[in-house]
Amino acid sequence: DSGVTQTPKHLITATGQRVTLRCSPRSGDLSVYWYQQSLDQGLQFLIQYYNGEERAKGNILERFSAQQFPDLHSELNLSSLELGDSALYFCASTPAPGRTDTQYFGPGTRLTVL
């Protein structure tokens, strides 16, 4: 158990809908990272937040957005969902955005878009 929690574990929805994935970092960790793992793209970095502010951005679609709240949990919002958004979504956390900080991953949310 990494200490990172994610809800829900599974999510099934239809195209065009909007969903919110939630992540709670390890106790004391200030930075949260979101990754997407699809069958054809592998694990890809989406976005990072540190203490409530966006810190780094990867190949995140404009239909996707994220935020980190004062209690440090983070939410990833996916809108206008397409079939290709079906994937595993992981979050990870670190104490501070130092380059040698180890990222610990949560169990993931499996999103299925029908």
Partner 1 sequence: DAKTTQPPSMDCAEGRAANLPCNHSTISGNEYVYWYRQIHSQGPQYIIHGLKNNETNEMASLIITEDRKSSTLILPHATLRDTAVYYCIVRVQNDYKLSFGAGTTVTVRA
Q: Hey, how many other C-beta atoms are within 10 angstroms of the C-beta on 16?
A: 10
Is 100 one of the binding residues for partner 1 (CB under 8 A)?
yes
Of positions 20, 38, 73, 105, contacts partner 1 by CB under 8 A: 105
Of positions 11, 90, 93, 111, contacts partner 1 by CB under 8 A: 90
Q: Which amino acid is at 101?
A: D
Residues at the interface with partner 1 (CB under 8 A)? 2, 4, 31, 33, 35, 42-45, 48, 55-56, 58, 88, 90, 92, 94, 97, 99-100, 102-108, 110
